[in-house]
Amino acid sequence: MTLRAIATVLLCATAALTACVHMPPPDAARDATMNPPPLRVATYNVSLYDEQAGGLLARLQADDADAHRIAAVLQRVRPDIVLLNEFDYVADGSAADLFQRHYLERPQPGGADALHYPYRYLAPVNTGVPSGLDLDASGSVGGEGRDRGNDAWGYGLHPGQYGMLLLSKYPIDAERARTFQHLKWSDLPDARRPMDPASGRPFHPDAIWSQLRLSSKSHWDVPVHTPLGTVHVLASHPTPPAFDGPEQRNVHRNHDEIRLWLEYLSTDDRPWLCDDAGACGGLAPDARFVLLGDLNNDPVDGSGDHSVIGELLEHPRVLRHATPRSEGAVDAALATGAANLEHRGAHAHDTGDFSARVGNLRVDYALPSVGFSLQGNGVFWPRTGEPGAELVDATDHRLVWVDLAN
């Protein structure tokens, strides 16, 4: 019997009433530290929102069927870090608590083992927050329903609607997180100010334009301390480039919300780029990141200005990699007739299942920085009849993931 075997027997003998756990040899432990497993990072627009304040909490308390399916998808993919778009912000964290305890931390039908995230980040967003201004040029401020939402800093029927939630298995450095909720649109150099095509004048008077916030929700830079080192999660959810008029104010805002990341990744000085705590400048040149979110912009199809998403995908700090894909997206396009539309992009790359009039689009992104090695990626969109296919209709978006190594 070897000395290592004798040591194992003695260790088990001291714990006769418990199961013996065989520890890996020192070389294996050292190798796991020096060569950690791939880090899986994901983005997922979960559509867990409600039109009433407190409505999401009520949905979750009522054993919401869609929340169960969302949790099952997350249990199947098991990301180490995941950004959830369209998860209503509740300041005391009660909605996030309930979703984690009652859904993620319990095995779900169609899912897998319970999934625990000891760390999370959530913060206020602009959606549904009254501006006190006539932002839609309707002649009145606020009102009911959509009128109220149109005059909020970001469209929403109550403060926090369509918020964001970041979940992580690894420590989040909340003290160093940066948010850009209050950054003024007019502070962005060469901002695309909406214009009234009939008069040729700005859509928003100067007094309103000077106060408008750029981010329809918020832009976050959240450092996470992972086995691969510190990873900056760059999270956002720009407004859809639709639901406006000939001035195309949402088209221009979507463009500039995405362009803000181009500015943030620039290595040049950006003294105007100040976060909500007053610190100015972009991301350090040596920082590694994963840019996550529903950016509401397909590279070639749908509405919006595609040039800006193209610039982001081709940015020198963004890792060149194969586009995440699924076969389920192709089947869905054929089933809805979307494949018959004049789409130029490959349906295998789509991440959203929209109406037959719009078609399916690629709008959700997980973009790692240079400095990482891509080990794999994908879109969770099984083909009809495959395991998990019954889960995806809980939201009109699909989870996108990347596996990263040093």
Quick one: pLDDT at residue 35? 82
Tens of pLDDT, residues 277-299:
999 999 999 999 999 999 999 99
Tens of pLDDT, residues 212-240:
999 999 999 999 999 999 999 999 999 99
Quick one: pLDDT at residue 8? 38
Secondary structure of the chain in HEC code, one letter for each residue: CCHHHHHHHHHHHCCCCCCCCCCCCHHHHHHHHHCCCCEEEEEEEEEECCCCCCHHHHHHHCCCHHHHHHHHHHHHHCCCEEEEEEECCCCCCHHHHHHHHHHHCCCCCCCCCCCCCCEEECCCCCECCECCCCCCCCCCCCCCHHHHHHCECECCCCCCCCCEEEEECCCECHHHCEECCCCEHHHCCCCCCCECCCCCCECCCHHHHCCCECCCCCCEEEEEEECCEEEEEEECCCCCCCCCCCCCHHHHHHHHHHHHHHHHCCCCCCCCCECCCCCECCCCCCCEEEEEEECCCCCCCCCCCHHHHHHHHCCCCECCCCCCCCHHHHHHHHHHCHHHCCCCCCHHHCCECCCCCCCCECCEEEEEEECEEEEEEEECCCCCCCCCHHHHHHCCECCEEEEEEC
Quick one: pLDDT at residue 4? 40
Per-domain boundaries in the chain: 1-35, 171-405
Question: Along the 406 residues of the chain, how does pLDDT read in single tens digits?
Answer: 343 443 333 333 333 333 333 334 444 444 555 688 999 999 999 999 999 999 999 999 999 999 999 999 999 999 999 999 999 999 999 999 999 999 999 999 999 999 999 999 999 999 999 999 999 999 999 888 889 999 999 999 999 999 999 999 999 999 999 999 999 999 999 999 999 999 999 999 999 999 999 999 999 999 999 999 999 999 999 999 998 999 999 999 999 999 999 999 998 999 999 999 999 999 999 999 999 999 999 999 998 999 999 999 999 999 999 999 999 999 988 887 666 667 889 999 999 998 777 889 999 999 999 999 999 999 999 999 999 999 999 999 999 999 999 9
CATH T-level assignment (fold) for domain 171-405: Deoxyribonuclease I; Chain A (3.60.10)
Quick one: pLDDT at residue 95? 98
CA dihedral 142, 145, 149, 152 (to 10 degrees): 30
Quick one: pLDDT at residue 33? 57
Quick one: pLDDT at residue 13? 35
Quick one: pLDDT at residue 187? 97
Quick one: pLDDT at residue 340? 60
Quick one: pLDDT at residue 47? 98
Quick one: pLDDT at residue 349? 97
Quick one: pLDDT at residue 333? 87
